């Protein structure tokens, strides 16, 4: 591995850690605002991967955030023969490095949308970025959808003029439950194998996506968290979360990949909601 790539890995891993700290702190501020005494705090739990590397889970179960997980990981090793053909650049040399941040928020209030954000850098004989952010309200509120997409569009526009439309369409296609014939939520952006040839530009975009999410999502939480809700809305939320479970266990590639490659089960399944219902 070249000195350049090594330095890139360190910068990316440092960024994912810093972003985790920033987001966790801002979510804790929200819990503090809403709670008189002893507000909830993130509990961190490190894990190690047998094949190399590991990560840290951060989980908070609060009043506003019924369950929110923010995981970072930095892992390395060799892809099994099964995966060598599927992963770009791994057919030449099976060694890989992967670093990233993954966040799933399941708010208590059915008026506050659930959210997911993930960005990652992968290195084989090639180097690329992937990730995205998407919003899953119980009932879509146009203001929230517009604000969320607007923030992500600004991040994309800083990269190039075509990327928002492309990454938005990719998100709509990916976060879809074929057996239900319905979208998981109101979308956002999704991208993979981002490698323009200019690593600095791609890394700057990765940071922009993280910062856009870190700014807009707490804004939406604050906008809705004091609104009263009904039992019917809560029940609708639990059913919507059931759909979230179906997507993650039936379709999500990251979940399947993680479980198939012996990843940390607790970290992978931290995305599942605290409570869900099926009628």
Cite the active site residues.
116
Q: Smallest gap, in angstroms, from Cβ of residue 238 to its own copies?
A: 7
250: contact with its own copies by CB under 8 A:
yes
Separation of alpha carbons 151 and 232, rounded Å: 31
- Could you tell me which stretch among 84-92, 203-211, 226-234, 239-247 binds its own copies (CB under 8 A)? 239-247
Interface pick for its own copies out of 238, 254, 257, 261 (rule CB under 8 A): 238
Q: Smallest gap, in angstroms, from Cβ of residue 194 to its own copies?
A: 29
Per CB under 8 A, contacts with its own copies among 117-176 are none
How many other C-beta atoms lie within 10 A of the C-beta of residue 89? 19
Interface pick for its own copies out of 249, 254, 257, 261 (rule CB under 8 A): 249
Q: Considering beta carbons, is residue 153 or 256 the nearer one to its own copies?
A: 256
Q: Smallest gap, in angstroms, from Cβ of residue 265 to its own copies?
A: 5
274: contact with its own copies by CB under 8 A:
yes
275: contact with its own copies by CB under 8 A:
yes
Separation of alpha carbons 58 and 42, rounded Å: 6
The residues, ordered by sequence, that sit 6+ positions from 260 with a Cβ below 8 Å of its Cβ are none
Q: Structure tokens of 225?
A: 């968290």
- Is residue 41 within 8 Å of 24, Cβ to Cβ? no
272: contact with its own copies by CB under 8 A:
yes
Q: Structure tokens of 221?
A: 């939480």
Phi, psi of 109 (to 5 degrees): -75, 130
Per CB under 8 A, contacts with its own copies among 45-104 are 67
Interface pick for its own copies out of 242, 254, 257, 261 (rule CB under 8 A): 242
273: contact with its own copies by CB under 8 A:
yes
Please report where in the chains the tokens 């012996």 appear, as a residue. Answer: 262
Q: Smallest gap, in angstroms, from Cβ of residue 136 to its own copies?
A: 16
The DSSP result for 7-27, as a single string, is HHHHHHHHHHHHHHHHHHHHH
Per CB under 8 A, contacts with its own copies among 178-217 are 179-180
Q: Smallest gap, in angstroms, from Cβ of residue 242 to its own copies?
A: 7
Q: 3-state SS of 188-203? A: EEEEEEECCCCHHHHH
The DSSP result for 42-82, as a single string, is -EEEEEE-TTSEEEEEEEE--SSEEEEEEEEEEEEEE--HH
Interface pick for its own copies out of 158, 218, 246, 254 (rule CB under 8 A): 246
Please choose, from the candidates 117, 124, 80, 77, the residue with its C-alpha nearest in 3D space to the C-alpha of residue 100.
117
Q: Considering beta carbons, is residue 141 or 276 the nearer one to its own copies?
A: 276
Residues forming the site for its own copies (CB under 8 A): 67, 179-180, 238, 242, 245-246, 249-250, 259, 265, 269, 272-279
């Amino acid at each position: 591995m070249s000195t350049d790539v090594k330095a890139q890995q360190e910068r990316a891993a440092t960024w994912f850690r810093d972003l985790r700290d920033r987001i966790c702190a801002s979510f804790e501020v929200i819990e503090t605002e809403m709670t008189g005494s002893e507000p909830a705090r993130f509990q961190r739990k490190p894990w190690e991967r047998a094949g190399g590397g590991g990560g840290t889970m951060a989980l908070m179960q609060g009043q506003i955030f019924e369950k929110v997980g923010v995981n970072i990981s930095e892992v390395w090793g060799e892809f099994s023969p099964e995966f060598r053909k599927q992963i770009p650049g791994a057919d030449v040399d099976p060694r890989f490095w992967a670093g990233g941040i993954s966040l799933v928020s399941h708010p208590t209030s059915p008026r506050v949308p659930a959210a997911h954000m993930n960005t990652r850098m992968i290195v084989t004989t090639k180097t690329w970025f992937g990730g995205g952010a998407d919003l899953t309200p119980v009932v879509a509120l146009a203001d929230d959808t517009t604000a969320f997409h607007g923030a992500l569009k600004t991040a994309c526009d800083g990269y190039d003029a075509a990327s928002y439309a492309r990454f938005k369409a990719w998100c709509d296609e990916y976060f879809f439950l074929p057996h239900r014939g319905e979208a998981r939520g109101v979308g956002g952006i999704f991208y993979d194998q981002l490698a323009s040839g200019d690593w600095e530009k791609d890394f700057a975009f990765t940071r922009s996506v993280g910062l856009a999410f870190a700014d807009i999502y707490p804004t939406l939480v604050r906008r809705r968290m004091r609104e009263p809700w009904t039992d019917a809305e809560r029940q609708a939320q639990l059913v919507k979360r059931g759909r979230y479970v179906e997507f993650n266990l039936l379709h999500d590639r990251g979940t399947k990949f993680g479980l198939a490659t012996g990843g940390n089960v607790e970290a992978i399944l931290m995305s599942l909601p605290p409570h869900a219902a099926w009628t």
